[in-house]
Structure formats: structure tokens, C-alpha cells
Amino acid sequence: MKILGLTGGIGMGKTTVARMLKQAGFPVFDSDAEVHRLQGPGGEAVQAVGHLIPSALIPGTDPGLRKHPSGASLSRTALRQAIMADPSLIRSLEKILHPMVFAARDRFLRRCRYRGVHWAVIDVPLLFETGTDRRCNRVAVVSAPHATQVRRIAQRRSMSRTEAARMIALQMPDCEKRRRADVVIRTGLSMADTRAQVRALIRQLRSDNTREKETQL
């Protein structure tokens, strides 16, 4: 089995590309979705992250509307505000979340191998930062012009463009991600253009499968 690493900065359109790959039949592990699950009601990371950033903890409730720790969750807005105020919190959060996400990713890959999947996709925002790219046979980076990225983040998260730019500055520069990529999918034009680039990538992946089968004959 081969692994395609899919990555890109916030607001680049990575979720859209991942959805297109999934629609084409490729199994996709969504790291962001796993983090949301871990931070959601009763999630495994809630108590540890809540201890680190108490302002982000949302107590759960039982049917009688009494506070119930097991159903607690985390406020993504409060987490974002805390990180913007103190970027050093990022490392502490990663120490809590990364082992949990990695374990879920490995379970996903084991299931894919058991099913005989040829290409599995892991959608990982911090692919290079965590060294996960070393596990991948190919890496695709989703990219868009800086102004487009800022506008998307500001609109989707109801924040100012200045705040959006500050969020981007906390991440690995897009130019560095593009430099390290095998394939760059640019999403700054139209949806049709993005779809055409994804189709080209899919043809490459399926062509690799065909050549591999021919070699084995």
C-alpha cells in the first residue's frame, strides 16, 4: 500500500481537495476531524487540554442539566484566542493531541492495508512539521495566493484580516511547503480549475497502480 500525504495551510482549500479524492474512491484520514472529535463532548483530549487552558473548557450536562465532566468539550474560539495571546501554548497542545491523532491515523492505515487498498490519503495540516511526510510515497500541497488565504480565513472564522494574517504567520510558510511537495494543487482560481488538477493527480496515482501490477506479472 502507498500513502499520499495531503497538506496545506489554513484557508488553502485542503478540505475541498480531500473531499474530491474521497469522492473518487480514495480512503482519506482527516486529521482535523479527529482533533475535533478529541475535543468534542466526552473527547479523550478534553480534560488534559482543559487543564492547560481552563478558559476553553465547556462543562457538560446530564439530563438534569447538572454539570457532568464526562460530557465536557472545548471551545475552539477560546483555544484560538489563547494561542493568539500566547503562541507558546501550541507546543503544549501538540504534546497532548499528536499522540492521540497518530494512534487514530495508524489504526486507519492498518484497516486500509487489511482491505488491500492501493493508495490511502492522510490529510494532515502539520505533515512536514511532524515528520509524517517521511511515511508518505507522495506529498500533495494545496496552495492559494496569500490574499485569497487571508480573505477565506477572515470570512469563515468571522475575524479581521489582521487576525487572519497573524494565524497564518504561526504556520510553516507556504513557499516552504510548496518547495517540499511532489505535487502542488493551486486553488486560487475556479473550482473547475481545482477539480481538473485533482483529476490529474488521480490519473497519476492510478497510473502508478497499473505500472506496479505490470511489474509484478
User: Which residue in 143, 103, 97, 139 sits closest to 122, CA to CA?
Assistant: 139
DSSP E strands, the chain? 2-7, 28-30, 57-61, 67-74, 119-123, 138-143, 183-186
Whether residue 16 is annotated as binding a ligand: the answer is yes
Is 167 annotated in a binding site? The answer is no
Neighbouring-strand partners of residue 121: 4, 28
* 14 labelled ligand-binding: yes
7 has binding-site annotation: no
How far is residue 217's CA from residue 200's CA, in Å, rounded to a whole number?
Answer: 26
Q: Give the span between the Cα atoms of 127 and 7, in whole angstroms.
A: 6
Give the separation between CA 159 and CA 190, rounded to whole angstroms: 24
Binding-site residues, in ranges, read 11-16
Binding-site residues for ATP, in ranges, read 11-16
